[in-house]
């Protein structure tokens, strides 16, 4: 017996509408709607056709309902220009990756959740408290933000495709919402990834209140303060004017974008409003708004835990075929998800990630 929510899950992950899928299997949209609402059980031949067009094995559609996996911060954070299709695909892909995590958790011991609970409303103070709770000195950069949070039980999932208009989202997932999850889009630069992770951390530990703009400003302020505390920044720039030239060495030291350093300089009182706008204008004139010079690239911090669990349970190299069979998932999808995560000693470059924009997992026949 097929489960309608599984049909919908596979269809949406592949980016198909009900009409799209109906045309591909030779039926009408209302039939797909009835199948997904479990008002109609498809014949074996129709289920085989659905499996063929979505790329999922027939046994996947007989699995129990997906785990509790809310849209989380996606509900208010996704950029306005992100299409509904893009948001839905990102959500479904993260959901499948989380199901793979839960499956592996039955075979491999999980990292316990030890994420500190910080309820401070002021983002600067909250960032300072979070650093203290994680035993991070204020005057030192964080070597690897992703690995730091993974060690404290945050499940960070690298989605194996570049969603251009969506960097990341977060939620509490699973039974009783026990596991904090951050999902990251592939293909972002190292400084963006390092900023996105603590940005989502703020959403995880502090309830969203106010307008979308206010929520995002709060998370941005927290992320900036978490990565670059105000006191050390004042000390490092105390004897120098704040210019792009003086900020370049700090970008490499603290692991953040020049634009973050400009904003932090303004937030901690090192530059006034006029100077802030001037520096941002200089960034814009150089074409650095979306991408800063390649010579200033930072390593992309990819999460490790999910792939590590698969290595423990299914060997090195991972037996993707057996894992896919055991978890009732497509081999290509399992392989794409796991290979998006870091291996034992891999430090990818941004250009490596960008090559995966057309990853095969989203192809349909």
End-to-end C-alpha distance for the chain, whole angstroms: 24
SS3 of 70-121? CCCCHHHHCCCCCCHHHHHHHHHHHHHHHHHHHHHHCCCCCCCCCCCCCCCC
Composition of the chain by helix, strand, coil, percent to 5: 55, 5, 40
CATH class of 4-65: mainly alpha
Using the structure block, give the residue that is written with the tokens 């933000």: 145
Longest dimension (CA), the chain: 76
Model pLDDT for residues 312-349, shown as the tens digit of each residue = 999 999 999 999 999 999 999 999 999 999 998 644 44
Picking from 301, 334, 304, 303, the residue whose alpha carbon sits closest to that of residue 319 is: 334
pLDDT at 183: 98
Buried b / exposed e across 168-188, counting CB within 10 Å, b at 16+? bbbbbbbeeeebbbbbbbbbb
Region at 280 (left for phi over 0; alpha for psi -120 to 50; beta for the rest): alpha
- 216/122 Cα distance (integer angstroms): 13
pLDDT at 365: 34
Model pLDDT for residues 67-120, shown as the tens digit of each residue = 889 888 887 755 556 788 999 999 999 999 999 999 999 999 989 999 998 989
Q: Quote the percentage of the chain above a pLDDT of 90.
A: 79
The torsion defined by the Cα of 306, 299, 88 and 78, in degrees rounded to 10, comes to 130
Q: What is the number of residues in the chain?
A: 365
Q: Which two tokens stand for residue 30?
A: 């209302």
pTM: 0.92
- 303/305 Cα distance (integer angstroms): 6
Please give the DSSP secondary-structure letter assigned to residue 33.
H
> 290 near 181, Cβ under 8 Å?
no
Q: Is the pLDDT of residue 354 over 50?
A: no
Picking from 37, 26, 27, the residue whose alpha carbon sits closest to that of residue 2 is: 37
Domain positions in the chain are: 4-65, 67-227+302-365, 231-298
Q: Is the pLDDT of residue 177 over 50?
A: yes
Using the structure block, give the residue that is written with the tokens 């306005």: 80
Q: Which two tokens stand for residue 357?
A: 């924009």
């Amino acid at each position: 017996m097929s489960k309608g929510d599984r049909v919908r899950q596979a269809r949406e992950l592949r980016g198909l509408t009900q009409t799209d899928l109906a045309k591909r299997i030779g039926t009408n949209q209302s039939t797909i709607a009835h199948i997904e609402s479990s008002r109609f059980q498809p014949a074996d031949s129709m289920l085989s056709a659905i499996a063929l067009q979505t790329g999922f094995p027939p046994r996947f559609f007989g699995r129990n309902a997906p785990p509790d996996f809310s849209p989380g911060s996606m509900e208010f954070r996704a950029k306005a220009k992100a299409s509904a299709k893009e948001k839905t695909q990102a959500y479904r892909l993260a959901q499948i990756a989380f199901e793979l995590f839960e499956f592996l958790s039955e075979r491999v011991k999980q990292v316990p959740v030890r994420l500190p609970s910080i309820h401070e409303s002021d983002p600067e103070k909250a960032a300072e408290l979070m650093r203290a709770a994680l035993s991070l000195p204020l005057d030192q950069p964080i070597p690897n933000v992703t690995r730091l949070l993974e060690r404290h039980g945050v499940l960070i999932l690298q989605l194996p495709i570049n969603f251009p208009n969506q960097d990341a989202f977060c939620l509490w997932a699973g039974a009783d919402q026990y596991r904090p999850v951050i999902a990251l889009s592939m293909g972002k630069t190292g400084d963006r990834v390092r900023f996105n992770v603590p940005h989502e951390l703020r959403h995880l530990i502090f309830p969203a209140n106010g307008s979308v703009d206010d929520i995002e400003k709060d998370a941005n302020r927290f992320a900036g303060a978490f990565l670059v505390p105000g006191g050390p920044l004042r000390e490092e720039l105390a004897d120098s004017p704040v210019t792009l030239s003086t900020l370049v060495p700090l970008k490499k030291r603290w692991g953040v974008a020049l634009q973050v350093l400009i904003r932090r300089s303004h937030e901690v009182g090192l530059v006034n409003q006029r100077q802030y706008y001037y520096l941002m204008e200089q960034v814009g004139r150089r074409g650095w708004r979306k991408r800063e010079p390649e010579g200033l690239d930072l390593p992309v911090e990819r999460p490790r835990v999910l792939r590590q669990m698969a290595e423990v349970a299914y060997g090195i190299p991972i037996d993707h075929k057996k894992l896919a069979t055991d978890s009732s998932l497509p081999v290509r999808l399992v392989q794409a998800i796991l290979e998006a995560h870091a291996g034992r000693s891999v430090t990818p470059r941004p250009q490596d990630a960008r090559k995966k924009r057309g990853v095969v997992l989203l192809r349909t026949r």
